[in-house]
Amino acid sequence: MRVALSLLSLALLAACSEPTQTTSPEQTPPLPVVEAQEAQGWPHGYMAAVANPYATEAAVTMLQQGGHAVDAAIAAHAVLGLVEPESSGIGGGGFFVVYEQDTQSVRFLDGRETAPAGATADMFMRENTEMGFLDAWQSGHAVGVPGAIALYKLAHDTYGKLPWHTLFEPAITLASEGFVVSAKMAGYLPQMAQISRLDENPGSAQYFYPNGQPLQAGSTLRNPEYANTLQRVADEGPSAFYSGEIAQAMAAAAQAGPDRGTMTVADIEAYTAVERDAICGPWRDLTICSATPPSSGAMQIMLANLYDELVPENPTQAQRITAFVDAQRMSYADRDYYFGDPDHVEVPLEQLLDPRYIESRAANPTPPGDTPSHGDPAAVLNQDSVAIWAQDSTNEAAGTTHFSIVDSEGNAVSSTMTVESPFGSGRWAAGFVLNNEMTDFARGFDADTPEPANMIRPGARPRSSMSPTIILDSDSELYMVTGSPGGNSIPAYTAKTVMGIVDWGMSVQEAVNFPNIIARGDTVRVEIGREPGQSLADQLNAIGYNVQEVDGENSGLHVILVTEDGLIGAADPRREGTVMSGSVTQ
Ligand code: GLY
């Protein structure tokens, strides 16, 4: 049965076989570790901070064998697609930002989903009205061509040290032999049956609702079909996924009713992951590097530098928070307006990051009660304007995951991966759910107004909020690896760890635990369930911001900090992640 739920409820929510479920309530999933972990660093120590203990373990299994951080990332993500299918998987896509110790360089590998050739700007419009988000989310039109497997291949070809097939062994073993269903995954299922067709779609219904009942936390689940898919990818390479039976199954699921999409096998065969320049910008004596559009990673550099312009000398903590809020409001407004797929639109990143523009923006902060709007960097810099777009305030749901990994040679991966909404579109193919990433495009369409930068275009990648970030010190050595899931809140969540650790005097774990504050559009959401959330909300209210007090801000921050004494890692207590570390004897 489906009932209407508010977008807020959805935001709070956050992939055919014959699965085996053995319900044994006394058996509980591994508990999350919420204490910061410390370990020896480069040249021998390694660390992984990942959203599920099975996946953290897969990562360190690779690192222990001397694998590159990229090897560990692929192994971890293949496991996440099995044990955390509500957040990401091989039916979706995402980004790797990679630091290479030898060259002290950062590169960005883009495995974002692409719009099928049949996608149209108005595919989420019905009788001149934008479809409801829930209907759009489950529509066949929402399914983009998955990028994860192609991203694995690009990353492995560029950096990998271990054999390709080794990377899939942990996931194949778990899928074949069974894993314990986590409380997080099980917790979604009753509500998903209320609001989505996850409990009705062929494949997903039998897998997640055996005998018509949602899987229970602590039960053991097997997914032989996923094991088979990964085994074929391990043996034959990505072509097993991007052509033939698996591609046909994906296309059929996207084209199935109700509300049939257009994705074809030809669309799937045409997919390529792309290596792009990472965006790196100075902040104090550090360099913040992140993913360029279609990601929102550049917002981290905008926001940090705006913050420095806004915060007074010798600030109180209250002044720091106000500067953080104002920096977010302005950088979100610019992000919403200018960011799109750089292969289809010109994103004026250089201008947006120009210190003269940042300075002029900070000189005119939007009054607390007003809605911030985008700036015009070209006008400030006396250049031709690229402010030609329509505003886009697309909502994004929270079906995403983030992991941070440092290997024993000092290489690192910051990766955020997604299926968009919890369990993506809920459409099932070959042992996994398909994404609904096309809802990250601007869904509304009006032929009489300017196009938004993030408009649906055939072959394009939808704008993402994902901001996998790597920060370097003044010697270009690795300093921090951070990022989070959380839809549109990702830039705010991620920036909080940067501010908390670098400017607010917090430990890594304190920064992760600190209440989330998200200042986008005309509201400032403050997480009051964590100290000192209520007093932060009161303080911002008193200044005149339109504060929404919220609980359960679903960040999933996984952070690793490099110090003189080694590595410090933290997992977000709001999810189920763990940090594991070790060292390789050389
Ligand atoms: N679907 C979440 C994101 O890309 O931001």
Secondary structure of residue 45 in the 3-state scheme: strand
Spatial CA neighbour of 366 closest among 538, 516, 545:
545
CA-closest residue to ligand 1 atom 4: 464
Centre of ligand 1 to C-alpha 178, Å, is 29
Amino acid at the residue 387? A
Centre of ligand 1 to C-alpha 487, Å, is 5
Ligand 1 atom index nearest CA of 465? 5
Give one DSSP letter per residue of 183-244, joined into a string. HHHHHHHHHHHHHSSTTTSTTHHHHHSGGGSPPPTT-EE--HHHHHHHHHHHHH-THHHHSH
Which residues, in sequence order, are bridge partners of residue 569?
A: 37, 560
Centre of ligand 1 to C-alpha 344, Å, is 18
Centre of ligand 1 to C-alpha 456, Å, is 15
- Which residue out of 490, 493, 494 has the highest number of ligand 1 atoms within 8 Å of its CB and is therefore the one to mutate? 490
Centre of ligand 1 to C-alpha 108, Å, is 16
Q: Are 289 and 472 in contact (CB under 8 A)?
A: yes
Spatial CA neighbour of 117 closest among 261, 252, 245:
261
pLDDT in tens, 156-191: 999 999 999 999 999 999 999 999 999 999 999 999
- Which residue out of 110, 402, 437, 441 has the highest number of ligand 1 atoms within 8 Å of its CB and is therefore the one to mutate? 437
Q: Are 36 and 568 in contact (CB under 8 A)?
A: yes
Catalytic one of 114, 262, 400, 497: 400
Centre of ligand 1 to C-alpha 314, Å, is 36
Centre of ligand 1 to C-alpha 440, Å, is 7
Secondary structure of residue 549 in the 3-state scheme: strand
Ligand 1 atom index nearest CA of 488? 5
- Which residue out of 400, 419, 489 has the highest number of ligand 1 atoms within 8 Å of its CB and is therefore the one to mutate? 400
CA-closest residue to ligand 1 atom 3: 464
Any idea where the domains of the chain sit in the sequence?
Answer: 7-12+30-100+111-275+394-516+553-582
CA-closest residue to ligand 1 atom 1: 420
Centre of ligand 1 to C-alpha 87, Å, is 10
pLDDT in tens, 371-391: 999 999 999 998 876 666 666
Block residue for tokens 């989070």: 484
Ligand 1 atom index nearest CA of 419? 1
Look up the CATH architecture of domain 7-12+30-100+111-275+394-516+553-582. Answer: 4-Layer Sandwich (3.60)
Residues with CB under 6 A from ligand 1: 396, 400, 418, 420, 437, 440, 464-466, 487, 490
Ligand 1 atom index nearest CA of 490? 5
Q: Is 563 a catalytic site residue? A: no
- Which residue out of 420, 439, 454 has the highest number of ligand 1 atoms within 8 Å of its CB and is therefore the one to mutate? 420
Amino acid at the residue 298? A
Q: Are 405 and 579 in contact (CB under 8 A)?
A: no
Tens of each residue's pLDDT in the chain, 586 residues: 333 333 334 433 332 222 222 222 223 334 344 567 777 776 779 999 999 999 999 999 999 999 999 999 999 999 999 999 999 999 999 999 999 999 999 999 999 999 999 999 999 999 999 999 899 999 999 999 999 999 999 999 999 999 999 999 999 999 999 999 999 999 999 999 999 999 999 999 999 999 999 999 999 999 999 999 999 999 999 999 999 999 999 999 999 999 999 999 999 999 999 999 999 999 999 999 999 999 999 999 999 999 999 999 999 999 999 999 999 999 999 999 999 999 999 999 999 999 999 999 999 999 999 999 999 999 999 887 666 666 655 655 557 999 999 999 999 999 999 999 999 999 999 999 999 999 999 998 888 888 898 999 999 999 999 999 999 999 999 999 999 999 999 999 999 999 999 999 999 999 999 999 999 999 999 999 999 999 999 999 999 999 999 987 789 999 999 999 999 999 999 999 999 999 997 6
Q: Take residue 258 and report the two structure tokens written for it.
A: 């109700």
333-336 long-range contacts, CB within 8 A, separation 24+: 333/366, 333/372, 333/373, 333/374, 333/375, 334/302, 334/361, 334/374, 334/375, 335/296, 335/298, 335/299, 335/302, 335/491, 336/374, 336/391, 336/392, 336/393, 336/394, 336/520
Ligand 1 atom index nearest CA of 94? 4
Q: Half-sphere exposure of 493 toward its Cβ, with a 13 Å CA cutoff?
A: 31
